[in-house]
Amino acid sequence: MNMKHSLVALLTVLLLLSAGCSGDSKKAGEQAADNKTENATVAGYEVMDPISVTAEDVNAIVRDADAGVVVLNMWATWCKPCVEEFPDLVRLQKEYGDRGLRLILVSADFQHNLAQVNAFLAEEDVDFQTYLKGQKDQEFITGLHPEWSGTLPATVFYNSEGEAVEFHQGKLTWDEMKTRVENLLEGS
């Protein structure tokens, strides 16, 4: 990562923290969306650098998602089940995004692996903002979900009120994802 990207990433984190300290979680989520780092080009495909986030930031983004269903997925490029599951997650967003689904992807990769993360996101045709864990593992894990052991992938399904209604550790199949999302969309 070059110096410019490092400064932009640091500024983004500082803005998120200052917004979070003021107690205005909506402001934190908006600033995360507004302060995207300069886009990277990978194999001719423009990819937005993932924004570094804490568990508190992710929780604010979920609360402010304004969606019928939010699917939060924690993954990593080095996690084989994550890589296997990933195309179905992207498919889920493409097929149900217009019906009220919002997919939030948070990579557990390290900041120094950003180029690898961007290459993977480009390969998977991700055309929306994603996030990168920017906090110590245990703080991040306990801050996101009380049942999460840290196993990847991990997926949380939220209803339209932003309440976590289902949590799953490990890889989900397309049918499992689709069924959960359709049930939640019908109930919203």
**What average pLDDT score do residues 115-138 get?**
96
Q: Where are the domains of the chain?
A: 39-187
Give which of 122, 139, 140, 42 is closest to 77, Cα–Cα: 122
- Report d(CA 138, CA 120) in Å as an integer: 25
pLDDT in tens, 65-77: 989 999 999 999 9
Work out whether the CA dihedral 161, 165, 51, 12 comes out positive or negative.
positive
- DSSP 3-state of 55: helix
Please classify residue 29 by burial: count the beta carbons closer than 10 Å to its beta carbon, then call 0-12 exposed, 13-18 middle and 19+ buried: buried
C-alpha–C-alpha distance, residues 147 and 66, integer Å: 25
Residues 112-140, mean pLDDT to the nearest whole number:
95
pLDDT digits (tens, 9 = 90+) for 140-175: 999 999 999 999 999 999 999 999 999 999 999 999
Q: What is the mean pLDDT of residues 106-116?
A: 95
Task: Look at residues 30, 1, 4 and name the one whose alpha carbon lies nearest to residue 129.
Answer: 30
Asked whether residue 25 carries a pLDDT value surpassing 80, the answer given is no
Say what the pLDDT of residue 47 is. Answer: 63
Quick one: fold of 39-187? Glutaredoxin (3.40.30)
pLDDT of amino acid 48:
83
Q: How far is residue 180 CA from its own chain's centroid?
A: 18
pTM: 0.77
Find the mean pLDDT for residues 72-98.
Answer: 98
CB 57, CB 16: distance < 8 Å: yes
